[in-house]
Structure 1
Amino acid sequence: MSASEEELVGHSYTRARKHPLVIGKLPGAGRLPGGPYTITQIVTMVVVFAALTLTQSLWAHFGVGNVVIMIAFPWGLARVLRYARIDGRDPARALRSLLVYTSTPADGRLAGRPQHTPRPRLVRGHCTVRILAPSSAAPVPQKAPAARAATLPASAQPARRPQPVPAAAAVSTLADRPHVAPRTQLEELLASLDARRSAQ
């Protein structure tokens, strides 16, 4: 096997580094039976035991079996939670992640504060056109059309309509015209420098 075909193996230690906090010993240095327990398991046992105690009038009709239920049910539920995993996490952490996700603003946070992107709004512009009234001065006498056309400069004279050109003549003029590529700014700069040198 060549170096280019070498098989690459990746290892992930995220789960080992995020080992949950557990409680396995009593304050008197004794071990908890069935432990160690995570914080989620201990909270579950306490909450379920308190709920069973408050609702004894609804379910406590088994005599001595009531004590067994009050001990076995919270412990069994906590035992199940040890092996329950949602996306690799215990249910309490998964629920916390879900609550954080749902409470996060849609646009995220900036410096700890919710970030709100303003909605796009239509901007309308106004344009005012003022038409000046004709002056009340005496009208200027108009010259004859031929004389007026003669006095106007060539750029101000009205454009004449182009006469139709036969197709054969148009093709021949296009063929006779040499093809000149447009010059770039660099070429124009070099041409101006050459013109200056020749002028000197």
Structure 2
Amino acid sequence: MSAAAPARVGRFYTSARRHPWVLGKVADWKIPLGPYTPAQIGVAVVGGFLLVKTIAWWSWMGPVPIAALLLTVWAVRRPKVGGRAPVQAALGWLMLGWQPRGGRIGGRAARDRSPHLLLGGFTLEDAPAPARAQTPRRVSRPSADRTPRRRPATPRSTPRRHTAAAAPSAPVRPVSGVQQLLSLAAQSGDVR
């Protein structure tokens, strides 16, 4: 290994390294029965607030509502909603409700275009007749002056080249990639 080449480092993270966010200590004081997850802290704060505000309603039941709150806080320690922690799941539902109904395109709300009347028309015209190539006519000569021509018996040394067909009167642009390749080959004379 040369000194100029940097050392290659490989890293991987297993699930053992993915710890949930928890609150177990505040300064030097350790929270009793902790550590607590954000869901547990949220349930304890909201439940405690509701118990204090509704004490007149449940005071006749004794410690049952307080025990129910503690049991609920304990039950939310590791719940999963769709494979996610409850706070992330609640945030996902909140963001889903916040999204516009049609979704987003480029960060903006996607909206359907307003309907409008589409008017159109057409015109029928006579198509022009295609131009025909004029071939020169031969003047007939008396048969006595004509001598029959014979082809040589030896084959030609060079192969015959195919002549390209006459171009159409209006050039047609190739549409597909194959048609473009064929037109390029026809222009260079490689078509056989």
TM-score, normalization by structure 1 = 0.48
Q: Which has the larger radius of gyration?
A: 1
Give the structure with the larger helix fraction. 1
TM-score, normalization by structure 2 = 0.50
